[in-house]
Structure 1
Amino acid sequence: MNVVPLPAPALARLARTSPDPAGLTFLGSALHTRRLLLLKALLVRVHRHRAAVEPGALGRFERSWELVERVDRHRPAVVREVLDYPTTGAWLAGALAEPLGPGFDRLLARLDSIAATAALRGGGPLDVTVETPDGLLSLPGVGRLPVAAPRVRISAGERIVRFHPDGARHAAPAVLTFSGVRHGLLTGHGPGWRQVHPLPGGAACLDDLDPYRAGAGGGSVGTAADHADTDHAAWSARWRAAQDLLRRTDPGRAAEIARAVRVVVPLVPRGPRHRGATLSAAPGAVLTSLPAGAHGMAETLVHELHHSKLATLHELVPLYGHGRDTVHRVGWRPDPRPIAGVLHGAYAHLALADLWRRAATADEVPKSWRSRAGQQFDDIHDQVGDALEILLESDELTAEGREFAAQMRQHHASLGATPLAAG
C-alpha cells in the first residue's frame, strides 16, 4: 500500500493545528502503511532468525499470520481496525526491540490474540487455540478473560463464541456474542469476562485491560490503572462533559477528537499533579490520570492528540534529524529538551493556545473557564513564541521541518498577543 505524498497545503493546515478531516484521513493511511511495514519487518526477523525461535512459538506465529491473511481477503476493513488499534503498535515496537530469546518468543504469542480477534470480528465459524500468558486471554479492543491455563481453544459459530481452557473438561461459562455482525462488534457475558469500556457518543473506548496499553514494558509514561481500580462512570461522565465543552468552544476540534482518539488509557495518579502522555508507537491512544473537570479533560485530549499527530507525521515526513546531543530550555518544563522535544511541546501547546483563545472569547462556555483559559493563553503564548524561535534558528530540522515550524509561527502570530476580553 502506498501513501500519496503530503500536499503543501495539507502540511500547512497540520502545522497550524487546524482540525482537518482530509489531513486526518491522510495520517490514518500513513499510520496503517507503517503498521503493515512493521508487521512485515517482524515477519522477516522471525524468518531470518527462525533457528533461534522456539519451534512451538515459531509454528504458532506462522499459523496466526496465515489466519490474519485469510481474514484480510474477506474482511479487510476489520483486519485494518485490529492492526491499527493503538496497543497493536505498542506490542510491535516492543517485539521489534526485544533481543532474541524467551522474551521475544513470549512477545510473538501476542499475534495469536490479534489474529483471533480479527477472525472473530470478521464473523463465520472459527476453531483456533491461542497462547494465554499469565493465564489471561486478551482480545485487543474487545476484552479480557482469566482462564488459568497456558492456552485456550476458541470456538465460534454464527452467533456465539466459547472458550475452552487447556485441560478443562468443559468450556468456560463466559461467552462472546456478535452484537453487530456487519461491523464485527463483540459483547462478552459471564463470570470473569471484562469488556473494554465504550466511551459515550462515539467510537472511543476506555481500555484498562490490554497488557500493552502502556507500552510493551510499561515504564516512563507511568503505571496503567487496572480495571478493578477504575471508576468507569466517572471517566464516562468526564469524557461526555469534555466533548460537550469542546463542541461549544470549537466544533471542528470536537469532531477531530471524536474521530482521532480511539483509546483512553487510565493512569495511576502520581502525586497531586495530573499526568498525561502518548506513545509514539501507539497513535490514537491518550494515556492520562483522571483530569480535573471537563476543561481538564478537553485540554488533555487536545494536547495529547497533537503529540500523536506529530509522531505520525514525522514517521512519514521526517521533520528533524537524530543523534545530536544539543538541548534547549523551554518555558513549560524545567529540564532542557532535545529539538524533538521542543517541536513536540511547541506543537501541542500551540494547539492549546488556539483552544484557550477560543474559550476565552466564547459566551457558550462557563465563565470560570473563560477566565482561566485567558490566563493560560497569556502564560503560554510567549513560551511558544520563544520555542518557535529556537526551532527556526536550529539546523537540526529538515527542510520540511523548517517549513512546518514557519507555518506554526504564522498561526502563533495570528492568535495575537492576548485574547479578546471575555464577555
Structure 2
Amino acid sequence: MNFTPLPAAVFTELARTRPAPADDTLLRSALHARRLLLLKALLVRVHRHREAVDAAVLRRFETSWHLLERAESHHPTVVRDVLDYPLTGAWLAAALAEPVGPALDRHLDRLEALAVTAALRADCPLDLAVEAPGGMLSLPGVGRQTAGSGRVRIRAGSRVARIHTEGHTHPAATVLLLTDRRTGALVGRGPDWNGLHTLPDSTARLDDLDPYRVPPGGVGTPARTAADRADTDPGAWSAHWRAAQALLAHTDPGRAAEVRRALRAVVPLVAQGPRSLGATLRSAPGAVLTSPPAGAQDMAETLVHEIHHSKLATLHELVPLYRQGRAAVHRVGWRPDARPIGGVLQGAYAHLALTDLWRRATTARTVPRPWRSSAGQQFDHMHDQVGQALEILLESDELTNEGREFAHQMRRHHASLGAAPRAAG
C-alpha cells in the first residue's frame, strides 16, 4: 500500500501500545482498504490467467463476484464485515501465493462460500446450487454445513434460508435465521449444521471450523496445529475468556476494552503443554490462535500479546516500518533463535505491551495478590530484554524513517515504565 501520513498523536499512541478507540478505527479502515486491494488483485490475476483456470471454476468465480457485488449494494456494512473477517485474509493470502493450476482453482472456489455468506447476511433472495468441497460448506464467521454430496442448494428470502444437500433427501433441512438485519447475525439449526460459538459479552467467534484458520503444516516452531470441533470445549473457552476479561478489566480497563474491540476470532490450537502457545497470522489480523490456557492470567497475557502483533502487522501495511528482504538476523532475549529485523520489532512491540500491563498490575489493588506478585517478577524479567531489543532496532539501518520514529517512541514509553514498584497490598 502507498504510505498514508498518520497524525503524530496517533502514531505516538500506537508506539506506546496504549489503547485508544480512535486508533482502532484507523487501523480497521486500513485493514479494509488492504482487504479490498487484495481482493481486486485476485480478480486481476484470475482474468489474466483465465485460460489456465478450469472453466467451471472460472464460471463459479465470476458468478460469485457478481453475487458479492449485489450483496454489497444491498447492505455494504455487512459485506464489509464479511470481507474483514480475519480468516478471509488468510484465504486471500493463500490464493494469491498459489501458482496457477489445480491448487489455485481449489482456492478460487472459496469465493463462492464468501459471496453466499455475504448475501445471506445481507438478506438477499437466493436460489442457487453451491459447491461443498469435501462434503463441507464453510460459511466464514458463521458455521459449517455437512453435505452428503459435493453440492448443496440454498433458498433464502425474508430472513430465512434453507440448505438442502443436492441429490440427497434428508428429513430436515438446515435453517438459517437472520436474527438482526442491522448486523447480519445468522443463527442456524439442523442435524447437519455446526455454528460458531460467540465468546461471552463480545462479538468474537471461537472459530474451530474455518478451513483457513491455520496454514497447512501448522504455525510457528514447533508447529502448532488446529484443534478440531470434536476436541474443542466451548464452555471451557468461554470460562477462560470471562476470567481473562475480568482480570484485564480490574488491571487495565482500557486494555480489556481494546481486546473486545479488536478481536474477531479465537482459533483453538492443539495443546502442547501446560501453558498456552499463541500465534498471529500476518494475513489475518484480529484472530488469535492459541492452545488452551492454564488460567485467567495466561489467557489475558496471550490476548494482549497477540493483539499487538495484529496491530503492528496492520500498521506496517499502512506505513512501512522496516525494509523487506534483508539477510541480517539478531538475537533477542525471549527467543532462542535469531530473528530478522521485522521479528525483532514485532517481539519488542508485543512484549512492551505486556510490560505495560504487568507494571499496572503491580499496583492494582483490585486484582488477586498472586497476579500482582507474578506481574512484578515478569516485569523485572522482560523489561531489560525489551530495552535490549529497542537498542538493536535503533542501531539498525533496516528501519524506515517512520520505523525509526516508531522505535524512538517505543523507547520513550519503555523508559517511562521505570522499575516495577513493590506489589501493592
TM-score normalised by structure 1 residue count: 0.97
Residue identity (%) = 68
Distance 2:74 2:3 in 1: 23
Listed as ranges, the matches of 1:214-225 within 5 Å are: 214-215=214-215, 218-220=218-220, 222-225=224-227
**Which residue pairs with 2:161 in the alignment?**
161
- Write the distance in 1 (CA, Å) between the matches of 2:333 and 2:218: 28
The residue number in structure 1 matching 2:71 is: 71
C-alpha spacing 1:412/1:2, structure 2 compared with 1 (3 Å): closer
Contact 1:3 1:30 (8 Å CA) reproduced: no
* Aligned residue in 1 for 2:313: 311
- 2:302 alignment partner, SS class: helix
Aligned residues of 1:328 and 1:339 also touching (Cα < 8 A): yes
> Aligned residue for 1:269?
271
Contact 1:3 1:33 in 2 (8 A): no
Within-5 A mapping of 1:19-418:
19-169=19-169, 173-215=173-215, 218-220=218-220, 222-418=224-420
Q: Deviations over 1:299-356 (max 9, x none)?
A: 0000000000000000110000011111111110111111111100000000000000
Aligned amino acid, residue 97 of structure 2: A
Q: 1:373 & 1:421 partners in 2: Cα distance? A: 9
C-alpha distance in structure 2 between counterparts of 1:172 and 1:304, whole Å: 41
Corresponding residue SS for 1:127: strand
Is contact 2:10-2:23 (8 Å) kept?
A: yes
Query: Unmatched 5+ residue regions in structure 2?
Result: none
Q: Is the 8 A contact 2:71 2:122 kept in 1?
A: yes
Paired letter, 1:15:
A
Question: Would the aligned equivalents of 2:3 and 2:320 in 1 still touch at CA under 8 Å?
Answer: no
Confirm or deny: 8 A CA contact 1:391 1:405 kept in the other structure: yes
Q: Deviations over 1:280-314 (max 9, x none)?
A: 00000000011111111110000000000000000
Change (3 A) 1:177 1:122: same
Mark the CA change 1:89 to 1:172 in structure 2 (over 3 Å): closer, same or farther.
farther
Matched residue SS, 2:182: helix
Do 2:372 and 2:423's aligned partners in 1 also have CA atoms closer than 8 Å? no
Aligned residues: 423
Tell me which amino acid in the other structure corresponds to 1:300: T
Task: Tell me the alpha carbon deviations over residues 361-389 of structure 1, each in whole angstroms, 9 at most, x when there is no partner.
Answer: 10000000100000000000000000000
C-alpha separation in 1, matches of 2:109 and 2:54: 11
CA–CA separation in structure 2 for the residues paired with 1:196 and 1:280: 23
C-alpha contact 2:197 2:206 (8 A) present in aligned 1 = yes
Shift of 1:419: 3.0
Q: Return 5+ residue gaps in structure 1 as ranges.
A: none
Alpha-carbon separation, structure 1, partners of 2:181 and 2:37: 29
Shift of 1:174: 2.1
Whole-angstrom CA distance in 1 between matches of 2:415 and 2:342:
22
Given residue 329 of structure 2, which amino acid in structure 1 is its aligned partner? V
How many Å separate the matches in 2 of 1:274 and 1:121?
34
Structure 2 counterpart of 1:206, one-letter code: L
For residues 139 and 132 of structure 1, the distance between their equivalents in structure 2, rounded to whole angstroms, comes to 10
Asked if structure 2 preserves the Cα contact closer than 8 Å seen for 1:90 and 1:216, the reply is: no
Letter in 2 for 1:212: Y
Query: For the Cα contact (< 8 Å) 1:178–1:185, is it kept in 2?
Result: yes
Q: Give 1:272 shift.
A: 4.1
Q: How much has 1:271 moved relative to structure 2?
A: 3.7
Name the stretch that deviates more: 167-176 or 71-80: 167-176
CA drift of 1:3 comes to 9.4
Partner SS for 1:182? coil
Are 1:27 and 1:312, in contact at CA under 8 Å, matched by a contact in 2? yes
CA distance in 2, matches of 1:172, 1:344: 49
Aligned residue for 1:203, secondary structure, equals coil
Supply the AA of the counterpart residue of 2:195.
Q
Q: CA RMSD in A?
A: 1.6
Please state how far the C-alpha of 1:76 moved relative to its aligned partner.
0.4
| 152 and 3 in structure 1: CA distance in 2 versus 1, 3 angstrom threshold | farther
TM-score by length of 2: 0.97
Q: Point out the more displaced range, 22-31 or 162-171.
A: 162-171
Q: Residues 2 and 318 of structure 2 are in contact (CA less than 8 Å); yes or no, is this contact kept in structure 1?
A: no
Distance 1:180 1:363, change over 3 A: same
Contact 2:275 2:298 in 1 (8 A): no
Going from structure 1 to structure 2, the CA distance change for 1:216 and 1:412 (only over 3 Å counts) comes to same
State the distance in 2 between where 1:272 and 1:173 align.
42
Q: Is the 1:161–1:177 contact (alpha carbons within 8 Å) kept by the matching residues of 2?
A: yes
Higher mean C-alpha deviation, range 55-64 or range 209-218: 209-218
Counterpart of 1:117, as a letter, is T
Assess if the C-alpha contact under 8 Å between 2:53 and 2:101 holds in 1. yes
